[in-house]
Amino acid sequence: MKSGALTTLFLIFSLFTILNAQERGSIHGEVQELSTKDFLPGVNVFIEGTTIGASTDINGHFEINNVPAGSHKLVCSFLGYVKQIKDIEVTAGKTVTVNFVLEESSQRLGEVEIVSQRATATENAVMLEMKDAKQLISGVSRQQISRSQDSDAAKVMQRVPGITIVGNRFVMIRGVAERYNQVLINDVIAPSTEVDRRTFSFDLIQSDAIDRMIINKTASADTPGDFAGGVIKVYTINYVDEDFTNVNLGLGYRVGTTFQDFYMSNGSNTDFIALDNSFRPLPADFPITRVMKESPRNATLRQTAAHSLPNNWNPIRSTVLPNYSFGVSLGRKKTFENGSKLVSTNNLSYSKKFQNIVRDFTRYDAWTDFSEPINLFFKFEDDMYEEETSISAMSNWSYIINSRHSIKFSNLFNQIAEERTTLRSGVNFFRPDELRKDYLLGFRSRTIYSGQFEGKHEFSPVNNLRWVTGGSFLGENEPDLRRFRTYTENTGPGAENGIFTMILPPSSNLFDASRYYGKLKEFSVNNGLDYTHTLAESSRGKMELKGGTYVDYRKRDFNSRYFSFLYPGFSDPVIGEQLSQLPLDVIFSNENVTPADGFILEEGTRPIDSYASSNFLMSGYAMISAPIGLLNIIGGLRVENNQQKLDAQDDLGPIKIDNTVLSFLPSLNLSYSITERSLIRAAYSRTVNRPEFRELAPFLFYDYQLDAGRAGNPNLETATIDNFDLRYEIYPRLGEVVSLGAFYKRFDKPIENITNITTEQPQFTYANADYAENLGVEFEFRKSFKQVFNSPFLDRMSANVNASYIWSEVNLGAAAINQEQVRPLQGQSPYIINLGLSYLDNANKFSVSAYYNIFGDRIFSVGDVLFPTIFELPRNSLDITITKEINKMIAIKAGVRDLLNAQYRFVQDSNRDARIDTDVDDTVFAFRMGQLISLSATFKLHKE
């Protein structure tokens, strides 16, 4: 049955249920902890012998609607506390108030099914979700996010055990590269957001929109099977307990950037909304590639085409403003007479960020005798300027028909633009008599939308159905990326003030007097069904059968074109030299672009520069959850049939890929409850890792920042991974956890980034290694100091510590033609440490938190016989946040991000001994980001 028809069927059923509802009343109240008098979130309150109930919210409040009139026993149950039962009388059309005060107990409490909306955004709620999960998971709550300076999901993720962040936006789990992760937004597969890699850019999701983030580190049959590091589930806010209207304003001062000189080229009058549909893109009537390439070099067609492009080659100096942001959040809840609820949560935010980085960039000549000093190939200084504009919108709607049926509609939209300028200066030592100035001027915009309809239906106490249908759109536009190189005579001090000559290529390429235009569009639609049947229920839990399907179809189209300005050989060389020395703001102006003794525009686009692809995934699964005494067994089988197609061309002709792979993916998760508050978990699963479209496409892209090319490999195969996990968990008190775990992974045909030999520049591509292994241990400790010390100050403290130690090895086999056959996995850190310390004074509405992070040496790029492997070295990162609630309407947050401003340092393994010694090995990149000092205010405008 199609998803639209299924949705209609559920709506009809739901309306029928409402119309036939009997006259009922409501129950509400609060739950407190006896010793501390704190209100408890996540407590289960339900009518005995029924599935009618609710969970307390972050303030310890609960509300149960649609309760049949009459006498009932109301049960209040929470892990680690004595269960309470009260006799109550419910009158039709009225609300009864019932409050509970719970006392801690070491006795085991029976499991309770939560049938209404429960608090999910608190640390306590996430801790409970971790404990009750069928898989091995970690998580971060909205409550924890609010105590930090984390502005987006990438920064939030670095607080999770075993997580490292690459490039401030990409996530690695357990030392496994980001391409091995699967990302779900509201339980629907998210698109890969990058043109040149399989990954998701987590900086696109604003932290204000996040309810919680859950990371599944082990597989189960009901989760997608394409991952090895983890399944990252991002849930946006979709429920509120009371109406609210919040306005947020923020300012940020970046040391070394704010109020300093800043260089950008001319832009569009729509750049402020992160779009450019008129100034930079190719005009609608611009000649197509075939016409451009077939035309003679002196054709009027080329002159007209060149004149239709903006003369935009000169970076303009300005003084940069502070970072700024503002946003509005709305939450509304409407309760109808029949007890049903309509809940809406909406968020709209806008931000502008500026960054200036001064980076040392050095490359060294090839050598064979390690006893001799290494010769410099080039030594540059890069002044890198980036202005980021981001618009984020979220709109989620929930219709809670009753305690058994609900429907949700979730929407997440991001529009983000990055305008970049890099001014590169220095010496290429192959031409030491020349001083170089090279340039990159670019603008990239991305549009991402993800939307889902989801329904949950309890047809009886033992039969539950969940369905989801949705889609997503990814658009990326990079119009008029300009890259060019200039030089002057290197006469010593003052030479940088001389006259520079534009390097003109003999034919079009990607880095000399070049203009590049790239556009990507990707659409996806998906549908999933999950059916759960309870076979039996006891004090130890439920024995359940679960089965379902998931279908996902993605289609991507990528097109690019590039051009260069040339000075034809039949023109006067003297005039050509004079023209090439003109200032940047006039050199390619219309009067200098003419077939008669001027520049001409030549297109270099090849068939390899575009591709079309699609992926059709059909999957089904069956699993059983069986509590046997103190042991809980969850086993299942997932079957995925994946068809991947790609149409492209290289210089030899068409390339057509049609790969269909049928994968059988078993999983087994065991948990054994040693005591009420401790358990041990063990898990095995088989998963896969499929090539991404870009990794298959032969398209070659020149990366200016790395001075390297990157191309795909149409011969890539799907990797298979066997995963083994073991973890011991202790939950001492509410919101606390101590865990120690170990894991092992074996990869068959893992997809690796390798280096191809070229002349002066490295070129990266992808290949299947023979196999790889990954072994590690993880430790996590979350502890509140409440009632631990006889000190009011320490009583308000809490600590969050997690650490990982990871060993990995990849064997490239026959693919290791020009590089080491055996080495660690690229991007894997041997250790990761996160430390957090928080002070929370509820009485004065004041909190302070500090977070520290460090990771071990990790491979940034894999070397070969010409280019040694480059490692990213450890750096100490420390963030501090202070929050103060002035009154019920105003809250202030201030903080410093990257307080230590430690240097980012990338060092090559010069002596090829597979380890880094900074006294011997040579630095390739080195830079500092500068501390970010931020101040924000939230104004709570309550609805009248």
| Structure confidence at residue 777 (pLDDT) | 93
Element (H, E) at 29: strand 24-33
Question: Which among 400, 79, 118 has a CA at the least distance from the CA of 235?
Answer: 118
Q: In what order do the strands lie in the sheet with 137-141?
A: 137-141, 210-216, 230-236, 181-185, 188-189
Cα distance between residue 789 and residue 773, in whole Å: 45
Residue 5's pLDDT band, with cuts at 50, 70 and 90, is: very low
Closest CA to 327 of 423, 393, 235: 393
In the predicted structure, residue 685 carries a pLDDT above the cut 70: yes
- CA distance between the termini of the chain: 45
450 within 8 A of 190, measured Cβ to Cβ: yes
* Average pLDDT score over residue span 531-555: 89
> For residue 130, what pLDDT is reported?
59
pLDDT one-digit tens code per residue, 513-533: 999 999 999 999 999 999 999
For the chain, the maximum distance between any two Cα atoms, rounded to a whole number of angstroms, is 102
Q: How confident is the model at residue 185 (pLDDT cuts 50, 70, 90)?
A: confident
Lowest mean pLDDT among 210-224, 250-264, 379-393: 210-224
**Rounded to whole angstroms, how far apart are CA atoms 169 and 154?**
5
771-784 and 763-768: which strand pairing? unpaired
Q: What is the pLDDT of residue 413?
A: 92
Paired with 782 in beta bridges are 737, 800
Tally of CB atoms within 10 A around 899: 17
Which comes out higher in pLDDT, residue 808 or 735?
Answer: 808
Does residue 115 surpass a pLDDT of 50? no
The three-state (H, E, C) secondary structure of 484-543, written as one string: EEEEEECCCCCHHHCCCEECCCCCCCCCCCEEEEEEEEEEEEEEEEEEEEEEEEECCEEE
Q: Which two tokens stand for residue 136?
A: 């091995």
The whole-angstrom separation of Cα 514 and Cα 519 is: 17
CB 833 within 8 A of CB 854: yes
Least confident of 623-632, 670-679, 774-783, 816-825: 816-825
Q: Residue 789: its pLDDT value, please?
A: 82
Residue 129 pLDDT class (50, 70, 90 cuts) = low
- Looking only at the bridges linking them, the beta strands covering 463-489 and 501-502 are antiparallel
pLDDT of residue 708: 80
pLDDT averaged over every residue in the chain: 85
Amino acid at position 112, single letter: V
Residue type, 377: F
Kindly report which listed range (78-82, 422-426, 609-613) carries the lowest average pLDDT score. 78-82
**Is residue 795 within 8 Å of 786, Cβ to Cβ?**
yes
Length of the chain: 944
CA separation for the pair 310, 322 (Å, rounded): 29
Q: Are strands 514-538 and 463-489 parallel, antiparallel or unpaired?
A: antiparallel
User: Where do the H-state alpha helices sit in 69-159?
Assistant: 123-132, 142-146, 153-157
Residue 48 · residue 72 · CB < 8 Å: yes
Written in H, E and C, the secondary structure of 344-373 is EEEEEEEEEEEEEEEEEEEEECCCCCCCCC
Task: Report the predicted TM-score, pTM, of the whole model to 2 decimal places.
Answer: 0.82
Q: How confident is the model at residue 688 (pLDDT cuts 50, 70, 90)?
A: very high
Reference 566, options 538, 598, 536, 541; nearest CA is 598
Find out whether 85 and 48 touch, Cβ atoms under 8 Å.
yes
**Distant-in-sequence, close-in-space partners of 666: CB < 8 Å, separation ≥ 6:** 635, 636, 637, 638, 684, 685, 686
Cα angle: 441, vertex 447, 450; to 5 degrees: 155
707: left (phi over 0), alpha (psi -120 to 50) or beta: left
How would you classify the pairing of strands 181-185 and 230-236?
Answer: parallel
d(CA 540, CA 109) in angstroms, rounded, equals 9
Pick from 181-185, 314-318, 654-658: least confident: 181-185
Better-scored residue on pLDDT, 369 or 850: 850
Amino acid at 622: A
Residue 453 per-residue DSSP state: E
Among candidates 480, 493, 393, 396, which has minimal Cα distance to 441?
Answer: 480
Q: What integer pLDDT is reported at residue 109 of this predicted model?
A: 32
With H, G, I as helix, E, B as strand and everything else as coil, classify residue 15: helix
**Cα separation of 754 and 768, whole Å?**
10
Rounded to whole angstroms, how far apart are CA atoms 110 and 102? 16
Separation CA 840–CA 641 (nearest Å): 50
Contacts with 871 (C-beta within 8 Å, 6 or more apart), sequence order: 857, 858, 859, 860, 906, 907, 908, 909, 916
How far is Cα 30 from Cα 675, in angstroms, rounded to an integer? 29
Question: Over pLDDT 90: what percentage of the chain?
Answer: 46
In terms of average pLDDT, the best of 91-95, 235-239, 450-454, 862-866 is 450-454
Q: Residue 52's pLDDT is what?
A: 79
Average of pLDDT values for 416-426?
Answer: 95
Tens of pLDDT, residue by residue over 556-604, are 999 999 999 999 876 688 888 899 999 999 999 999 999 888 999 999 9
Q: What is the pLDDT of residue 164?
A: 66
Tokens of 369: 């005798």
Tokens of 379: 């030594």
> How would residue 826 be classed by pLDDT, with cut points 50, 70 and 90?
confident
Tokens of 233: 């589930």
Q: Which two tokens stand for residue 166?
A: 């690459």
Question: Do 818 and 756 contact (CB within 8 A), yes or no?
Answer: yes
Answer for the pair 863, 908: CB distance below 8 angstroms, yes or no: yes
Please tell me what DSSP assigns to residue 206: B
Q: Which residue did the predictor score with more confidence, 412 or 420?
A: 420
User: Among the ranges 135-144, 229-238, 330-339, 377-386, which has the highest mean pLDDT value?
Assistant: 377-386
* Residue 881, beta-bridge partner list: 849, 895
**Bigger pLDDT: 829 vs 312:** 312
Tens of pLDDT along 768-799?
888 899 899 999 898 888 878 888 888 889 89
pLDDT number for residue 167: 61
Least confident of 263-277, 320-334, 865-879: 865-879
* Cross-strand bridge partners of residue 172: 164
Report which of 832, 830, 812 is spatially closest to residue 822, judged by C-alpha positions. 812
* Residue at token pair 């479209």: 693
Cβ atoms 862, 869 nearer than 8 A:
yes
pLDDT for the residue numbered 107 = 38
Q: Which band of pLDDT confidence, cut at 50, 70 and 90, is reported for residue 667?
A: very high
**The three-state (H, E, C) secondary structure of 896-934, written as one string:** EECCCCCCEEEEECCCCCCCCCCCCCEEEEEECCCCEEE
**CA angle at residue 565 from 564 to 569, to 5 degrees?**
115
